[in-house]
Amino acid sequence: MEIFRASNVTKRFGALVAVNNVSYSLHEHEVAGIIGSNGAGKTTFFNLLTGMFPPDEGTIHYRDVEITHETPQQRVTRGVMRTFQLTSTFDNLTVIDNLVLAYFRAHRKASLLQLFLNTCKQHRNNEKITAILETFDLKDLRDREVRNLSLGEKRRLEIAMTMLAEPKVLLLDEPLAGLAESEIQAVLEILRRQMGRQTILIVEHKISHVKDFLQRITVMHEGSIIAEGGYDECMSHPEVRRSYWQIDIDAETSAEAGS
């Protein structure tokens, strides 16, 4: 079942067409990926899906409801959450406070008075928060200020915060960027556990790390989709080989013919 659909979306920044007439859909419980070289328009497309800014043309639907002009906050309420290329945790708060903020918004339709009366202390021992601290191996870091965490720990916390909200669709913007090999494996292990439970869309440079994990890959180049399908299918696509791997197809073909 189709859960997310972008139809003919275009986004321009002045003369630059960052996303050019892209149509894309995500299916329920699918784990899909978007890859492409720098400047391919991946993150802009991601921002259109999450409502960071509206498209100049085209529409976006979530479960057949048009959400093209909804704010990120409205999309979160529908169950669409994202992470950012640079971690979106809050450095001046502790790990537990970051989690409480994420949990509180996701699980309560709070009135203004409740927001004033609720203290973080009241939620510190919440079952779900305690469980997520365990799952993401953050228990020992609970009271540490986020500014003192490593990038890998911050990334784990960021994903933990989105998981606390129990989103229907999780959009991950380069979740492996800047991580060491062991940290990459830890993050991938966490994501693997979510397979079948959530719809996940990953924008990632490190294709080799996620290729076994993704059910469908979409390749973007200069704001357009140039290939879509399985890993092997995409990687053998001539346009992808030219733009993504910068392989000169014509030279390769004539070399093969010559030999």
Partner 1 sequence: MDTSLIVPGVIFGLSIGSIYFLMAIGLSLCFGLMRIISLDQLLYYSVGAYITYSVNLHTGSFWLGVLAAVAAGAAVSLAIERIVFRRIYERDLTFSMITSFGVLLGGVGIIKFFWGLVPRPVPVPISEQMSIFGTEIPIYRLIVILVAIAVYIAIWLFLNRTIIGKAIRAGIENVEHVEGLGINVARLFTITFLIAGTLSALAGALHAPLIMVDPHMGLEVLAFVFMVVIIGGLGSIKGTLISSIIVGQVVSLGSLIYAPLAQMAPFAIMLLILLVKPTGLFGSVLLKR
Q: Is 231 in the site for partner 1 (CB under 8 A)?
A: no
Site track 128-157 with partner 1 (rule: CB under 8 A), x = hit: -------------------x----------
Q: Is 116 in the site for partner 1 (CB under 8 A)?
A: yes
Torsion of CA 34, 35, 37, 40, to 10 degrees: -20
Q: Is 72 in the site for partner 1 (CB under 8 A)?
A: yes
Q: Is 84 in the site for partner 1 (CB under 8 A)?
A: yes
Site size toward partner 1, by CB under 8 A? 37
Stretch 146-205 residues interacting with partner 1 (CB under 8 A):
147, 161, 165
Smallest separation, CB 100 to partner 1 (Å): 7
- Specify the stretch interacting with partner 1 by CB under 8 A; choose among 115-123, 131-139, 176-184, 185-193: 115-123
Q: Is 92 in the site for partner 1 (CB under 8 A)?
A: yes
6 CB-contact burial (10 Å; exposed 0-12 / middle 13-18 / buried 19+) = buried
Q: Is 46 in the site for partner 1 (CB under 8 A)?
A: no
**Residue closest to 235 by CA, chosen among 257, 211, 258:** 211
> Rounded to 5 degrees, what angle do the CA atoms 98, 101, 103 make?
105
Q: Is 213 in the site for partner 1 (CB under 8 A)?
A: no
Which residue among 33, 45, 46, 82 contacts partner 1 (CB under 8 A)?
82
d(CA 199, CA 138): 24
From residue 92, how far is each of 28, 39, 82, 116 by CA, in Å? 36, 31, 21, 20
Which residue among 5, 29, 63, 105 contacts partner 1 (CB under 8 A)?
105
CB 1 within 8 A of CB 199: no
SS3 of residue 141 by DSSP: helix
Residue 15 DSSP one-character state: T
Indicate the residue among 144 and 209 with the shorter CB distance to partner 1: 144
Which residue among 8, 23, 71, 254 contacts partner 1 (CB under 8 A)?
71
* Beta-sheet pairing, 224-229 with 216-221: antiparallel
CA atoms within 13 A on the CB side of 77: 9
Q: Is 81 in the site for partner 1 (CB under 8 A)?
A: yes
From residue 200, how far is each of 60, 93, 135, 168, 235 by CA, in Å? 17, 28, 19, 9, 21
Smallest separation, CB 190 to partner 1 (Å): 19
Q: Is 109 in the site for partner 1 (CB under 8 A)?
A: no
Q: Which parts of this chain interact with partner 1 (CB under 8 A)?
A: 50, 52, 71-73, 76-77, 81-82, 84, 88-93, 97-98, 100-102, 104-106, 110, 112, 115-121, 123, 147, 161, 165
